[in-house]
């Protein structure tokens, strides 16, 4: 039983998942610090108030604290924007750079009759036996 459990834990996808979660938590802390220390004060400098948690309204004695919801919504939008612009866009650019068109092999050419790859020096196609000029 312990042997099976050890085998399960040491499988590649479980270890990769654990590493991904740890890296995700660490990255989340970095993004949250970026939002809390740089972006939110910038909004406060422009709007004059960066903490909306005290905003409420009352209906029939019930207090609705919509300011906390606005704080959470604003934090979500800022984190999503920071994640998109600082992670997704650069990662997509790197992936697109890595995907380059394969360079054609200069040692082969296409047969004009059957469109097979044949050596450049060939005088007859090995696939369709057409005479090449």
Domains of the chain by residue range = 2-98, 105-133
Cα–Cα nearest to 66, from 52, 47, 78: 52
Q: What is the mean pLDDT of each run of 10 residues along the chain (133 residues)?
A: 77 75 83 74 75 82 85 78 84 84 77 90 90 83
CATH architecture of 2-98: Orthogonal Bundle (1.10)
Q: What was the pLDDT predicted at 8?
A: 73
Q: What was the pLDDT predicted at 108?
A: 87
Q: What was the pLDDT predicted at 50?
A: 64
Contact 111, 130 (CB under 8 A): yes
Q: What was the pLDDT predicted at 12?
A: 66
Whole-model pTM: value is 0.47
């Amino acid at each position: 039983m312990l042997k099976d459990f050890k085998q399960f834990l040491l499988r590649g996808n479980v270890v990769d998942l654990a590493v991904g979660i740890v890296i995700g938590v660490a990255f989340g802390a970095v993004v949250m610090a970026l939002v809390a220390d740089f972006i939110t004060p910038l909004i406060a400098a422009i709007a004059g108030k960066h903490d909306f948690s005290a905003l409420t309204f009352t209906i029939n004695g019930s207090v609705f604290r919509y300011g906390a919801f606005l704080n959470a919504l604003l934090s979500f939008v800022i984190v999503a924007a920071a994640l998109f612009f600082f992670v997704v866009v650069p990662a997509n650019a790197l992936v697109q750079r890595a995907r380059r068109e394969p360079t054609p092999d200069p040692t082969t050419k296409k047969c004009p009759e059957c469109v097979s790859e044949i050596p450049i020096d060939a005088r007859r196609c090995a696939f369709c036996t057409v005479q090449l000029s």
